[in-house]
């Protein structure tokens, strides 16, 4: 076909377009030059068509107009390329004209573009790690993005001379002022907590800044408002670091499994709780003893409530479930139970029955709605999740096409979490280059339209159970217990009677799956038996096989 063009690289690294349609080495350009020049004020090339590109060669005042437009508005050329390629319009035109323009634009960007400018708010463990990673891997990151990333501001409560920051990086405690600055394109929020993080992120969004955050609590409790504001202002809120640290689980769910219907997911998503349960299992230690060590090692805060009561895991599960099922963030509907009532005795009994106790976050889709729950769980000892130990995290995802897939790694710490933060920065820089406004091509929560699927209450959820009760050593007690279970429709999978402790006999029962309201009814009746002493221990059981 006459009038095709190609891009060629010269030995000195420059690029030329040769052909009858566009000539950078001659005096003539096709009418695309005139069209681009005329459309420049509109920022859109809707009036161009195939005929314009192939015929009517005409003089233009400056051949640099084409290059200028391609560099500054390459997203338009990119959109043309995608539209024409998809619509099947003359493939040769796409391959020989539009695609070369994209190649040319990319190489020109690498050589001559302004950097993307960052503000990092918070220089604690994660913020300091992100700063270090951006500096140490600057060359590698530039190769991945084609754009320099420049840190222009850091937000700290007090000056940090120990970091030896260059004079070009401004330090300030006025976070709202930082996000309003014109020399900030991307705001990295790693302060933690709800306030003032919420107000600062909202201000950044309103000023058109892209946002990266590791703040799981803020997203779980106020994410719906933040994402709506981001959509209204055509910016992104990226949050890979908010869940499971160095495991790229958000990207997996939003992109890698985008062709699948996710049926359920279950994860060890709090490293502190997993460390405590691992020590209790491997060394027979008491909960309080291990918690004290976790605090000394820096795995748990001075106030460990969020970790040991399941709140941290519930924040993360809220985010995972929204991305997996396309539902609004609903932290208040997550059933949440911690590990403070787990004893070394229960850990031992569970292992004798072939199970490990893990603190899981579980989100499951069923015909009745969505289950969202965080609690200690018995899982078969041969399952991969049962063998995730120490402070490590893991998430098991069951999807209808690919089946079960497991994602494992470090869930916290400066390096792993900073890795996720900077990965989000890289994605945003790419979107700034290749989309019209930097808002990205992937919906914030993976779905263009969110669903109002019913979230099940705890009474509606179905699971198996581990029950431990302490009974007097007398005839007929076990028969009374099994009669109550049978009468409420609960099938028994296993019963184990343990050696006497003081004056009581511990009885351990495993049940088949049953709706929780039925189990509550049965436990209340068993608890009322005169021969039963103390509170009945209940731990849920999951086989993780469907």
pLDDT tens for the chain, 546 residues: list them. Answer: 333 333 333 333 333 333 333 333 333 334 444 444 444 433 333 333 333 333 323 333 333 444 444 445 545 455 554 544 444 444 444 444 555 555 555 544 444 468 999 999 999 999 999 999 999 999 999 999 888 999 999 999 888 888 888 999 999 999 999 999 999 999 999 999 999 999 999 999 999 999 999 999 999 999 999 999 999 999 999 999 999 999 999 999 999 999 999 999 999 999 999 999 999 999 999 999 999 999 999 999 999 999 999 999 999 999 999 999 999 999 999 999 999 999 999 999 999 999 999 999 999 999 999 999 999 999 999 999 999 999 999 999 999 999 999 999 999 889 999 999 999 999 999 988 777 566 677 888 888 878 889 999 999 999 999 999 999 999 999 999 999 999 999 999 999 999 998 889 999 999 999 999 999 999 999 999 999 999 999 999 999 987
Q: Tell me, what's the pLDDT at 243?
A: 97
Pairing of strands 210-213, 237-238: parallel
Q: Tell me, what's the pLDDT at 55?
A: 32
Q: What are 335's two structure tokens?
A: 């059933």
The answer to whether 494 touches 509, Cβ cutoff 8 Å, is: yes
Q: Tell me, what's the pLDDT at 449?
A: 79
Q: Tell me, what's the pLDDT at 168?
A: 93
- Give the C-alpha separation, 448 to 24, whole Å: 42
Q: What are 205's two structure tokens?
A: 């969004």
Using alpha carbons, select from 378, 357, 348 the residue that is nearest to residue 501. Answer: 348
Between 3.90.25.10, 3.60.40.10, 3.30.420.40, 3.40.50.720, what CATH number should domain 116-246+416-434 receive?
3.40.50.720
Partners of residue 492 on adjacent β-strands: 511
The answer to whether 208 touches 180, Cβ cutoff 8 Å, is: no
Three-class secondary structure assignment of 427-485: HHHHHHHHCCCCCCCCCCCCCCCCCCCCECCHHHCEEEEEEEEEEECCCCHHHHHHHHH
Superfamily designation of domain 251-410: Dihydrodipicolinate Reductase; domain 2 (3.30.360.10)
Q: Where are the domains of the chain?
A: 5-111, 116-246+416-434, 251-410, 462-541
- Give the C-alpha separation, 149 to 135, whole Å: 9
The answer to whether 236 touches 211, Cβ cutoff 8 Å, is: yes
The answer to whether 175 touches 207, Cβ cutoff 8 Å, is: no
- Give the C-alpha separation, 22 to 53, whole Å: 9
**DSSP H/E element including 228:** helix 216-232
SS3 255: helix
Superfamily designation of domain 462-541: ACT domain (3.30.70.260)
| Cα angle, residue 498 at apex, residues 495 and 503 outer, rounded to 5° | 125
Domains 116-246+416-434 and 462-541 share a fold: no
Backbone angles phi, psi at 277, to 5 degrees: -65, -35
Q: Tell me, what's the pLDDT at 201?
A: 98
Model-wide pTM > 0.75? yes
Instruction: Select which of 35, 316, 358, 392 is catalytic.
Output: 316
Q: Tell me, what's the pLDDT at 450?
A: 85
- Does 316 qualify as catalytic in the annotation? yes
Count other C-beta atoms under 10 Å from residue 121's C-beta: 25
500: Cα within 13 Å, side-chain hemisphere: 6
Q: What are 32's two structure tokens?
A: 């695309």
Q: What are 275's two structure tokens?
A: 């460390």
């Amino acid at each position: 076909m006459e009038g095709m063009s190609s891009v060629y690289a010269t030995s000195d690294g420059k690029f030329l377009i040769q052909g009858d349609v566009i000539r950078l080495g001659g005096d003539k350009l096709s009418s695309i030059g005139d069209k681009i020049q005329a459309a420049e004020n509109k920022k859109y090339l809707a009036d161009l068509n195939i005929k314009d590109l192939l015929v009517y060669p005409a003089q233009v005042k400056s051949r640099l107009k084409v290059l200028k437009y391609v560099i500054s508005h390459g997203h338009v050329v990119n959109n043309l390329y995608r539209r024409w390629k998809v619509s099947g319009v003359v493939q040769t035109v796409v391959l020989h004209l539009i695609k070369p323009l994209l190649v040319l634009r990319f190489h020109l960007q690498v050589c001559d573009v302004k950097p993307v400018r960052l503000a990092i708010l918070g220089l604690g463990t994660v913020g300091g790690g992100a700063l270090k990673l951006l500096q140490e891997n600057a060359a590698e990151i530039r190769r991945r993005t084609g754009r320099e990333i420049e840190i222009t501001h850091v937000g700290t409560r007090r000056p940090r001379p120990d970091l030896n920051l260059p004079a070009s990086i401004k330090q300030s405690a006025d976070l709202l002022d930082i996000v309003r600055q014109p020399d900030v394109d991307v705001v990295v929020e790693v302060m933690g907590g709800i306030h003032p993080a919420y107000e600062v992120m909202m201000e950044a969004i309103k000023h058109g800044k892209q946002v990266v955050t590791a703040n799981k609590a803020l997203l779980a409790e106020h994410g719906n408002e933040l994402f709506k504001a981001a959509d209204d202002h055509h910016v992104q809120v990226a949050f890979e670091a908010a869940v499971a640290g160095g495991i790229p689980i958000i990207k997996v769910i939003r992109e890698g499994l985008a062709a699948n219907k996710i049926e359920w997911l279950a994860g060890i998503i709090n490293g502190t709780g997993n460390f405590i349960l691992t020590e209790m299992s491997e060394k027979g230690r008491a909960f309080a003893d291990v918690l004290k060590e976790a605090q000394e090692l820096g795995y748990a805060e001075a106030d460990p409530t969020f970790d040991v009561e399941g709140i941290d895991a519930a924040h993360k599960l809220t985010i995972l479930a929204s991305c997996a099922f396309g539902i609004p963030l609903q932290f208040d509907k997550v059933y949440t139970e911690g590990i403070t009532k787990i004893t070394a005795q229960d850990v031992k009994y569970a292992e004798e029955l072939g199970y490990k106790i893990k603190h899981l976050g579980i989100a499951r889709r069923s015909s009745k709605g969505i289950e969202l729950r965080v609690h200690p769980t018995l899982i078969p000892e041969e399952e991969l999740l049962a063998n995730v130990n120490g402070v490590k995290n893991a998430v098991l995802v069951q999807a209808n096409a690919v089946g079960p897939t497991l994602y494992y790694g470090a869930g916290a710490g400066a390096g792993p979490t900073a890795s996720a933060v900077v990965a989000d920065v890289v994605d945003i820089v790419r979107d700034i280059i290749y989309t019209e406004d930097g808002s990205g091509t992937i919906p914030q929560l993976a779905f263009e339209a969110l669903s109002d699927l019913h979230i099940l209450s705890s009474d509606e959820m179905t699971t198996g159970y581990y029950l431990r009760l302490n009974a007097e050593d007398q005839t007929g007690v076990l028969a009374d217990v099994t009669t109550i279970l049978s009468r409420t429709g609960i099938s028994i999978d296993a019963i184990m009677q343990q050696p006497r402790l003081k004056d009581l006999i511990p009885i351990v029962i495993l049940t088949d799956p049953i709706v929780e309201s039925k189990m509550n009814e049965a436990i209340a009746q068993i608890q009322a038996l005169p021969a039963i002493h103390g509170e009945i221990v209940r731990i849920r059981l999951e086989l993780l096989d469907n």
